[in-house]
Amino acid sequence: MITVLVLNAGSSSLKACLYRLTPELAATATAPPDPLWHGLLDWGQDPTVARLQVTTADQGYAASLTHPDGGIAGLRDWLKPLLDTLTRGPTKCLESLEELTIIGHRVVHGGNRYRAAVRVDAQVKAAIRELSEYAPLHNPANLLGMELMADMCPQTPQVAVFDTAFHAQLPPVARTYAIPYELTTAGIQRYGFHGISHQYVSERAATLLQRPLAELRLISCHLGNGCSLTAVKGGISVETTMGFTPTAGVMMGTRCGDLDPGILLYLLRRGRTVEELDQLVNRRSGLLGVSGVSNDLRQILAAIDQGNPQAQLAYDCFIYSLQRGIAGLLPALGGLDGLVFTAGIGENAACVRRDVCRGLAWLGIELDGHLNQQGTGDRDIAAPSAAVRVLVVRTQEDWAIARACVKCL
Ligand code: ADP
């Protein structure tokens, strides 16, 4: 048995999962098993206070942890109490951390250097550190997670699974911005993100469709707080909507997506600071910015029910942005076999799937209204006669990371 700890460290939270699996299960499981243990540290509300929540199949534990500096500095102190719940108390699953076979980390930015998961060594850490310039909120948290785990479990191998790796084979036309070429060679290129999710759901779609991934042309729609669409041809990402940063592409919860760069220049000239513009495009835009209500789609839908016209506009802009995004990926595919919806909105908001698909009927997309509205679990929701299959797949990034770890053993 292989015991894998998966760590997914972000700018305001750290998620962790424990899986026990065999190489056979990792290779063949058509549907992922639930993790044995699931932990969360969340300092999103107040950077100096982390909410600790742990669940196992039948137990739970919650606590509040504080740190005077908070944020990433806090993580140094908070990770140990989180991992202590693996070896003691009601959520105990292990006698000691030495039982861990391998530790996997989701790393947001691996540039175009890494096409697959790699064992963490000094060189990999140096590359992640170097790429922190491109992902200042995430890569340092990922590195810290690696260093803390190396202190606690010095013998256990660690693996970095990059969110950019799936997109590392983007063709030059998809990767290159129309800017002076020396900037492209200096690294200002499209990298794409959410790769672990896009790769997992496209593999799962092939399983559900009972067709080889190698012959499928898919568009995967990862719609959570962050949203991105990816064209997957024969199992390879050939175009994606996020770019040099995860701010690009379609409209999101608080991020603007693609924007006329002239708007930023205009605002800079009017005296806005770089920090203000960062807040504007990453935290104050998207569904939140247009609606003035919330970044959370459920609250937008509730406001629409109450007749709020700005919430309706935000919703309409979101749907239109997704339709334009999907249409923009078609040249990279030359046709479409399947459209896959995943993440919080993609998996749960039947109205978004309905409204996006309604505008794309000309592509041969037609939903079975009942399956879209009522069905549960990973499923095909297209009308039986439709030319393009439409799938709902629950994204399982942690499981995908655990599987990638097993391949690195
Ligand atoms: P993250 O990118 O932070 O992982 P999630 O994948 O959890 O985010 O997605 C969060 C989004 O999913 C929010 O906009 C939330 O409103 C939306 N969402 C979650 N459940 C539902 C639901 N039942 N109906 C509509 N939207 C939902």
pLDDT digits (tens, 9 = 90+) for 3-33: 999 999 887 889 999 999 988 888 888 778 8
**Which residues neighbour 402 within 8 Å (Cβ) at sequence distance 6 or greater?**
4, 6, 17, 19, 21, 26, 104
Task: Name residues contacting ligand 1 (CB within 6 A).
Answer: 224-226, 253, 296-298, 343-345, 348-349
Weakest mean pLDDT among 27-31, 185-189, 340-344: 27-31
Please say if the pLDDT value at position 306 is more than 90: yes
> What pLDDT is attached to residue 32?
84
Return the closest-CA partner of residue 148 out of 48, 43, 74: 74
Per-residue pLDDT tens digits for 365-404? 999 999 999 988 999 999 999 999 999 999 999 999 999 9
Checking if the pLDDT of 177 tops 80, the result is yes
Q: For residue 355, how far is its CA from the centre of ligand 1 (angstroms)?
A: 17
Ligand 1 center–CA 253 separation, angstroms: 9
Give the model confidence (pLDDT) of 66-85 as tens digits: 999 888 888 889 999 999 99
| Average pLDDT estimate for 257-269 | 98
Mutate to test the pocket of ligand 1, among 298, 318, 374 (most ligand atoms within 8 A of CB): 298
What is residue 274's predicted lDDT score, i.e. its pLDDT?
96
pLDDT reported for residue 375: 83
Q: Which pLDDT value is given to residue 46?
A: 86
d(CA 347, CA 356): 14
Question: What pLDDT was estimated at residue 83?
Answer: 95
Nearest CA to ligand 1 atom 4: 224
Q: What is the pLDDT of residue 401?
A: 96
- From ligand 1's centre to the CA of 396, what distance in Å? 14
Q: What is the pLDDT of residue 81?
A: 94
The residue whose C-alpha atom lies closest to atom 25 belonging to ligand 1 is 349
Percent of the chain clearing pLDDT 90 (strictly above): 88
Q: Give the residue, out of 228, 283, 297, with the most ligand 1 atoms within 8 A of its beta carbon, to mutate for a pocket test.
A: 297
Catalytic residues: 163
Q: Starting from the edge strand earliest in sequence, which strands make up the sheet with 227-233, in order?
A: 236-240, 227-233, 217-223, 338-342, 389-392, 379-380
The pLDDT of residue 30? 75
| Helix, strand and coil percent figures for the chain, each rounded to 5 | 45, 20, 35
**What pLDDT is recorded for position 137?**
79
Predicted TM-score (pTM) of this structure: 0.94
Rg (CA), the chain: 21
State the closest ligand 1 atom to the C-alpha of 301, by its place in the atom list counted from 1: 25
Hey, which of 227, 341, 345 would you mutate to test ligand 1's pocket, going by the most ligand atoms within 8 Å of its Cβ? Answer: 345
Element (H, E) at 314: helix 309-333
Average pLDDT over all residues of the chain: 95
Separation in Å, CA 150 to CA 17, 94, 229? 17, 18, 35
- H or E, element range at 221: strand 217-223
- Given this model, what pLDDT does residue 312 score? 98
Could you tell me the CA-to-CA distances from 173 to 164, 195, 232, 248 in Å, in that order?
Answer: 17, 19, 15, 17
pLDDT of residue 357: 98
Range scoring the smallest mean pLDDT among 66-80, 168-182, 266-280, 307-321? 66-80
pLDDT at 201: 97
Which atom in ligand 1 lies closest to the alpha carbon of residue 300? Answer: 16
What pLDDT score was predicted for residue 25? 85
Q: At residue 100, does pLDDT exceed 90?
A: yes
Please tell me the distance between residue 226's alpha carbon and the centre of ligand 1 in angstroms. 10
Query: Using one digit for the tens of pLDDT, what is the confidence trace for 202-260?
Result: 999 999 999 999 999 999 999 998 999 999 999 999 999 999 999 999 999 999 999 99
Ligand 1 atom 19: residue of nearest CA: 344
pLDDT of residue 150: 95
- Residue 344 CA to ligand 1 centre (angstroms): 3
